[in-house]
Amino acid sequence: MDIARDAFVDGKWIATTERFPVHDPFDGSTIAEVADSDDALIDRAIEAASRAFEGWRKRPGPERGKLLRKLADTMLAEEDRLAALCTRENGKALKESVAEVRYAASFLSWFGGEAERIYGETIPATHTGQRLVAIREPVGPCAVITPWNFPYAMLTRKLGAALAAGCTVVAKPAEETPLGTLALAEIAERCGLPAGVFNVVPSSDGARTGGRLLASPSIKKISFTGSTEVGRIIMKNAAEDLKRVSLELGGNAPFVVLSDADLDAAVAGAIVAKFRNTGQTCVAANRFIVEQTIAETFTQKLLAAVGKLVTGRGSDDGVDLGPLINDDAVAKVTRLFDDAIEKGAKLLAGARPTSRLVPPIVLTDITPAMQLWHEEIFGPLVAIRTALNETDAIIQANDTEFGLIAYVFTRDGARQARVAEALEAGMVGVNEGLVSTAQAPFGGIKHSGVGREGSRHGIEDYTQLKYIATRI
């Protein structure tokens, strides 16, 4: 497989002396040695993004949009190669990698359209002979820091919006998965994106690289997707220079099943919401809260569906769940499993993890005393607790510092509206286990983040309003 491994700065591929290995999560083998960007290279990338900004922002929106759609089309034309690379560095099942390439490309094409619609406002004047308008301008060069769980999509949600708005980008991908980002840089180069508009500085030291990007006065905005812990550090550091910040952070999603739910639909939703990317998604159902009258039936149906899921190497035919990303991820799931069992959880399926390949685990009799009630599991472990009624289910669902997404299954229209409004989350899936799409606002409240990605709101974060009063 032909893989880009160097840093991409100012339209050039830069080979560095320091390199870091990227591993296949399935067997730990080394896939590539990637450039480890030092401070001087990061500074070069920032300078390139600053220089390129003046030209890029002046290009007409439709021209920027056309280039974005070309990037999207090229991604789709090469989806087999890109998907195979994603499965290689991330481990996820190949069919999920294909879905991710399509999902990631959709942000580029959708924001490509939005580049033609960055409207301002005409405001009624106070006096005769005056014209008041507000226009939207790009904020400037942006730093983009992404996690390993969706190497393409987490990048394009930011890159599409930034480039459409007229901003330039310096991207720092996760240490585990820099190859997908470099593959997109290579596509951008082929599609004729001007030098310096999109730069990639892979690094094995997120704190140092993030610190360097945040310290630069040339970087006007930082967009970060990752853990709440690192999000807090970024927000603190961004305060120094009053940089604009978008944060897409961790979740602890409740998955509420009410007594009148279509249980087959709830199980189908649960499988998607829990097991996509082997449970390693920010929107993963973390706590199943099931009304007690239907808990037994729901659990039996879920066990039957879970029993059909195949765990294995992501590139093998028929595999649903690839390996966890690394040994730290296994250790986390094992800690949460041990703690829950010690505190009285009942094991209905699966077993204590012994390797990165973790077949689905189902635990019931969950209580708030258990660590997994409060922490993101990030693995294929279903944790079920019963609720007395709708009110109890809502109280339980909101018993978390996070607020990214919540799911509720009920057939009753009034309940759908009532519960969706009562759930403390930036997004709610009603009878729906997968809500993310380019044209809708994705993002959280509480400790799950600041700002939205996707939709017209996602591009607003890369623009600033300028009010112009003219005497005519």
Residues taking part in catalysis? 248, 282
* Neighbouring-strand partners of residue 38: none
* Sheet-wide strand order for 405-409: 346-349, 361-364, 381-387, 285-291, 253-257, 405-409, 427-430
Region near ligand NAP per CB under 6 A, out of 73-81, 113-121, 247-255, 299-307: 247-255
Choose, by CB under 6 A, the member of 112, 166, 196, 226 that binds ligand NAP. Answer: 226
**If binding is defined by CB under 6 A, does position 253 make contact with ligand NAP?**
no
How many residues sit in the footprint of ligand NAP (CB under 6 A)?
29
Please give the C-alpha separations between residue 333 and each of 193, 347, 412, in angstroms, as whole numbers: 42, 14, 35
Q: Is 72 in the site for ligand NAP (CB under 6 A)?
A: no
- Cβ distance to ligand NAP smaller for residue 174 or 393: 174
Give the nearer residue to ligand NAP in terms of CB position, either 51 or 335: 335
**Is residue 239 a contact residue for ligand NAP (CB under 6 A)?**
no
Interface with ligand NAP includes 175 (CB under 6 A)? yes
Q: Please choose, out of 56-64, 65-73, 203-211, 264-272, the segment that lies near ligand NAP by the rule CB under 6 A.
A: 203-211
Q: Is residue 36 at the binding interface for ligand NAP, with CB under 6 A as the rule?
A: no
Asked if 206 is part of the footprint of ligand NAP (rule: CB under 6 A), the reply reads: yes
Q: Which stretch binds ligand NAP (CB under 6 A): 100-108, 167-175, 315-323, 359-367?
A: 167-175
Question: Is residue 376 involved in binding ligand NAP (CB under 6 A)?
Answer: yes
Q: Residue 403 interacts with ligand NAP (CB under 6 A)?
A: no
Residue 404 or 425 with smaller CB distance to ligand NAP: 404
Cα–Cα distance between 378 and 398 in angstroms, integer? 19
- 311 and 14 Cβ atoms separated by less than 8 Å: no
Answer yes or no whether residue 148 interacts with ligand NAP by CB under 6 A. Answer: yes
Q: Is 336 one of the binding residues for ligand NAP (CB under 6 A)?
A: no
User: Is residue 324 a contact point for ligand NAP (CB under 6 A)?
Assistant: no
For ligand NAP, give the closer residue by CB, 134 or 207.
207
38 is a site residue for ligand NAP (CB under 6 A): no
Decide: residue 236, CB within 10 A, 0-12 exposed, 13-18 middle, 19+ buried.
exposed
Q: Which of 173, 167, 162 is nearest to 200 (CA)?
A: 173
Please tell me whether residue 252 binds ligand NAP under the rule CB under 6 A: no
CA dist., res. 177 & res. 42, Å (int):
18
Q: Looking at 45, 68, 142, 230, which residue binds ligand NAP (CB under 6 A)?
A: 230
| Shortest separation between residue 203's beta carbon and ligand NAP, angstroms | 6
The single residue among 154, 187, 324, 345 that binds ligand NAP, judged by CB under 6 A, is 154
Site for ligand NAP (CB under 6 A): which residue of 138, 250, 323, 433?
250
Q: How far, in Å, CA of 334 to CA of 340, rounded?
A: 10
Query: Pairing relation of β-strands 285-291 and 381-387?
Result: parallel
Quick one: 294 or 427, whose CB is closer to ligand NAP? 427
Please select the residue that binds ligand NAP; options are 207, 304, 395, 468, rule is CB under 6 A: 207
Binds ligand NAP by CB under 6 A, chosen from 25, 112, 147, 323: 147
- Measured N-to-C along each axis, helices 292-306 and 263-275 cross at an angle, to the nearest 10 degrees, of 60
* Min separation Cβ 19 and ligand NAP, Å: 14
Dist. CA 166–CA 184, nearest whole Å: 19
Q: CB of 140: closest distance to ligand NAP in angstroms?
A: 19
Among 233, 303, 422, 435, binds ligand NAP (CB under 6 A): 233
The least CB distance from residue 218 to ligand NAP, in Å, is 17
Question: Which region among 112-120, 221-229, 315-323, 464-472 touches ligand NAP (by CB under 6 A)?
Answer: 221-229
- The residue of the chain with the least Cβ separation from ligand NAP equals 210
Binding site for ligand NAP (CB under 6 A): 145-149, 154, 172, 174-175, 203-204, 206-207, 210, 225-227, 230, 233-234, 248-251, 282, 376, 404, 444, 449
